[in-house]
Structure 1
Amino acid sequence: MKVIPIYVEAGITGFESPAAEYTELRLSLDELLIRHPNATFIGLANGDSMQEAGIFDGDLLIVDRAETIKHGDIIVANYNGAFVCKQLDAHRRLLLSAAKGYSAVAITEGDEFQLEGVVTCSIRLHRKSKELLVCMP
């Protein structure tokens, strides 16, 4: 952690902003959060079934299609025509919710099922933008 030193001398009525030394730092959230830009999309979480995994209604989901999907990953999939965000139990072919009161859903041969990608990150917005509110149900 970087400590921002603030020095105030007697007789000085003001001081430089503590953020002034950071004007040269460059931070790209794309570079920080997205590993495969051409294979990544952003989804919008809907519902409360993944709350115990830290995904809440209205959160943004960073979904990477290029990541290898592994047992236990939180994924986005097309399940019988609906996009779902669940934890994948690849060994038993189940979709698991991360909240009490939701049963596991078995993926059967008769189901339409297509994995869309791995949820690599979720972002909670504390103040929603007008553009995002249009997308929300």
Structure 2
Amino acid sequence: MEALKMSGMSITLPFVNSSIPAGFPTPALDYQEEEIDLSRLLQPNPASTFVISVKGDSMVDANIPDGCMAIVDRSIRPSTGDIIVAALNGEYTVKRLVKAGRSWVLHPENQFYKPIVITEDTDFQVWGVVTAVIVDMRK
């Protein structure tokens, strides 16, 4: 797993403060520009946030494609339904954490993969909760 530590610098970009529909075109919007601080948006807890590069297609139906960057926050207590980064039997994985009865299950978001049931014999540790995903749309 490739992990990058986000630095304390602030990154701001122009932000058009209007929503743009992804469906049918609408008349031209009033152009209102302000700045948005990406570091505050993506890293609300700087001391516990890191970035990983995701490899594989087990989470494509959760809009986490191969090659994207996932923002992970270790300070968030994981709960059922969260997408997490976990260490599982010595390997890292990104999956949806689900409580099923008395067991925890790691669910892929791709029908071609099977869920992983966490048992007492499983070496399992949550590394953090995925809070955002950055996708290069040109790939």
Q: TM-score range by the shorter chain?
A: 0.7 to 0.9
For normalisation by structure 2, the TM-score amounts to 0.73
Larger Rg belongs to: 1
| 1:27 alignment partner, SS class | strand
- Aligned residue pairs: how many? 110
Q: Once superposed, which parts of structure 1, at least 4 consecutive aligned residues long, lie more than 6 Å away?
A: none
Task: Return the match for 1:39 from 40, 45, 48.
Answer: 48
Task: Return the match for 1:95 from 94, 97, 106.
Answer: 106
What do you get for the CA RMSD once the two structures are aligned?
1.7
1:48 Cα offset (Å): 0.4
Task: Return the match for 1:77 from 60, 69, 86.
Answer: 86
1:66 Cα offset (Å): 0.6
Task: Give, in whole Å, the separation in 2 of the partners of 1:43 and 1:74.
Answer: 13
Instruction: Give the equivalent residue in structure 2 for 1:28.
Output: 37
Task: Return the match for 1:55 from 52, 64, 72.
Answer: 64
Q: For structure 2, which runs of at least 5 residues remain unmatched after alignment? A: 1-17, 19-28
Task: Give, in whole Å, the separation in 2 of the partners of 1:58 and 1:73.
Answer: 20
Residues 3-57 of structure 1: CA distance to partner in whole angstroms, max 9, x if unpaired?
22xxxxxxxxxxxxxxxx85xx443211111111100010111100000000000
Structure with the largest fraction of helix: 1
1:127 Cα offset (Å): 5.2
For normalisation by structure 1, the TM-score amounts to 0.74
Letter aligned with residue 104 of structure 2:
R
Instruction: Give the equivalent residue in structure 1 for 2:132.
Output: 121
Letter aligned with residue 27 of structure 1:
I
Q: For structure 1, which runs of at least 5 residues remain unmatched after alignment? A: 5-20, 129-137
> Is 1:104 aligned to residue 115 of structure 2?
yes
> Is 1:3 aligned to residue 30 of structure 2?
yes
Q: Percent identity?
A: 38
Task: Give, in whole Å, the separation in 2 of the partners of 1:93 and 1:113.
Answer: 11
Task: Give, in whole Å, the separation in 2 of the partners of 1:105 and 1:43.
Answer: 21
Instruction: Give the equivalent residue in structure 2 for 1:64.
Output: 73
1:126 Cα offset (Å): 3.4
Residues 56-108 of structure 1: CA distance to partner in whole angstroms, max 9, x if unpaired?
00010000001121101000000011110000013431110000111111111
